[in-house]
Amino acid sequence: MRTLYVRIIVTTILIMIASAVIAFVVSNGYYQYVLKPQNDEKVTHIAKNIVDLYNSSEQSIDDYLTEVTDLGYSFYLVHNNGDTQAFGKSFESKDLPSNVIKDVLAGEVYHGIANYPWRLFITGFFDHTLSNTIGVPINENQQNYALFVRPYASQQFGEMRVFFAIIIGLILILSFLFVLISTRWIVKPIQILKEATNKVAAGNYHLQLPVTRKDEFGQLAKDFATMSKSLQQTEQRRQAFVSNVSHEIQSPLTSIQGFSQALQEANLTKDERDHYLAIIEKESKRLSILSRQLLTLSQLDREDEKIERTPFELEEQLRDVLSTLEWQWRQKELTVEWKVQKTIINGDPRLLHQVWMNVMTNAIRYTPEEGAITIAVEKTKSEVEVTVTDTGIGIAAEDLSQIFDRFYKVDKARTRKESGTGLGLSITKKIVEIHQGTIIVDSKLASGTTVTITLPQ
C-alpha cells in the first residue's frame, strides 16, 4: 500500500542517494580541476627532493630507494639500457609510452598525475598505476636513470580511509533509522486526521483531536476541529429547520383538516360555516406565504452574489412600499416621519423591495396604536444608509442575536397571531448580504426598534 509513510521514506532515501551521487561527481570534478594539479605539483617537489637527498648521500640507488619506500612511496626505476626495477608497492599497471621514458632520461619531468585521464565516477587519486606518477631524471655513476615516483595513498591514508568509511556508513545507517522514526512522528497527526475524517463522514462531529503541535499539522488539526464544530452546528440548524418547517406546515394543515371535517356536519348555522371557511382560508394563506418564503430562501442560497444590478431611485421605491402598507399604518393611526432624499443606488429592485416591505411591515405590526415610525435615508460617497425606527414593543437583549435565524420567533404566541413564519428577517438579511451590505438591529423592550441597512452606493 502506497501510504504517505512509505512515500516519505522512499523519497528521503532517493534524495540521499541522489545527493551522494551528485556530491561525488562534484567532488571528483573539484579534484580533477583544482586538487589534481596541486597534487601533481606537490609530488613533483617531493620527487626532486628525493633526488637531491640521494645526490648528497653515499648510498647506492637501490639501497636508498628501498629505505625511502618505508615513507609510503613506490618507485619505478628505468635504466638507460632499458632494464627496470620496482621498489615498494608494485604498480597495478605498468603501461607507459616509450617516448615518456626517453624524455625523462633526457632530463625532462613527466607530470603523469596532472595528465591522468578524467573519469566521471572514478577519481584517480587512489589509482596506483605507472601512468599516474611523476617522472624525474636521476644519475648514478655517470649513468642516467628515469625515476617514476608515486605516493602509496592506501598506506599513507589507510587508517583515515577506514575511519571515514565507518563515519559514512554510520551516517547512512543512522540517517535511515532517524528517517523511519521521524517520518512516523510526522505522519501520526495525518493518521489521526484520517480517522477523524472517517468519523465525521459517519456523522460523528464530537471530536477532540489529541494534536498539540505548533506547526502546520497542529494548525490543520485546529482548523479541522473548527470545521467539525461548524458542521455540527450546520447539522443542528438543518435538523431544527426541518423540525420548524414540519411544525409550521403541520399546524395549518391540522386546522384545515379539522375545520373541513366540521363543515361536513349538517346542523351548522351559516355563521358557523362562514367562520370555519374564513379560518381555512387564513390557514391556506399562511401555507402559501410559507411556501413562497421557503422558495425565496432556496433561490437566494443558490444565487448568492449572482444578481443583476441596475440603477434605480431608492426614494421612489420606499414611497411605493409605504403606500402599499398605507391601510395598515392608517388603521393603527401611526405617525410616519419621512426623512428620505432622492438617491440612486445599484441593486436588484425586486429583492430590495422585499427588504423594505419586511422591515416596514414589522415596524407597523409591532408598534402600538398612535405610535410613530421614522424612515430616513443618509448617503455618503460610497454608501447609502436606510434607517427604519419605530416606537413599538421592542426586542429583549437575549433575543437580538437570534432574530435572523430561520423560524426564530421572539414571541411565539404574538407571531402566530400575526401570521408570521419567522423567515422574514432571514430573507432580509440574506438579500442585504448578497448586495454586500449590512443590517443592524438596535432595540430595547418597550423602547422601540431601529433597523439600519447599509448598502454600497
Higher-confidence position of 188 and 105: 105
Q: What pLDDT is attached to residue 261? A: 87
Residue 278 lies in a domain: no
CA distance 329 to 327: 6
Give the residue from 156, 189, 223 where a domain finishes: 156
Give the residue numbers spanning the domain of 372. 307-456
Residue 119 lies in a domain: yes
Evaluate if residue 204 carries a pLDDT over 80.
Answer: no
Q: How confident is the model at residue 160 (pLDDT cuts 50, 70, 90)?
A: low
8 A C-beta contact, residue 292 and residue 424: no
Residue 94 lies in a domain: yes
Select from 189, 183, 185 the least CA-distant residue to 217.
189
Residue 89 lies in a domain: yes
DSSP single-letter state for residue 123: -
Question: Residue 386 forms beta bridges with which residues?
Answer: 377, 453
Q: What pLDDT is attached to residue 415? A: 42
Evaluate if residue 247 carries a pLDDT over 50.
Answer: yes
CA distance 207 to 223: 12
Question: Which SS3 state, helix, strand or coil, does residue 409 take?
Answer: coil
Burial state string for 67-101 with b = 16 or more CB within 10 A and e = fewer than 16 = ebbeebbbbbbbeeeeeeebbbbebeeeebeeebb
Q: What pLDDT is attached to residue 431? A: 87
8 A C-beta contact, residue 410 and residue 338: no
Q: What are phi and psi of 388, to 5 degrees?
A: -120, 115
Residue 289 lies in a domain: no
- Our count of domains for the chain comes to 2
Mean pLDDT of the chain: 82
pLDDT in tens, 255-271: 888 888 888 887 888 88
Torsion sign across C-alpha atoms 411, 416, 418, 419: positive
Residue 165 lies in a domain: no
Give the residue from 136, 156, 176 where a domain finishes: 156
What CATH code is carried by the domain that includes residue 26?
A: 3.30.450
Contacts for 54 with CB less than 8 Å, ≥ 6 apart: 61, 64, 138
Q: Sheet of 134-140: strands edge to edge? A: 84-87, 73-79, 143-151, 134-140, 110-111
pLDDT in tens, 356-402: 988 999 999 999 999 999 999 999 888 999 999 999 999 988 888 88
What CATH code is carried by the domain that includes residue 318?
A: 3.30.565.10
Burial state string for 167-201 with b = 16 or more CB within 10 A and e = fewer than 16 = eeeeeeeeeeeebeeebeeebebbebbeebeeebe
Residue 65 lies in a domain: yes
Residue 430 lies in a domain: yes
Give the residue from 127, 156, 185 where a domain finishes: 156
Q: What pLDDT is attached to residue 453? A: 94
Average pLDDT over residues 400-408: 78
Amino acid making up residue 422: G
Q: What are phi and psi of 453, to 5 degrees?
A: -115, 125
Q: Which three cell numbers stand for residue 443?
A: 432595540
pLDDT above 90 coverage of the chain, percent: 26
CA distance 297 to 423: 9
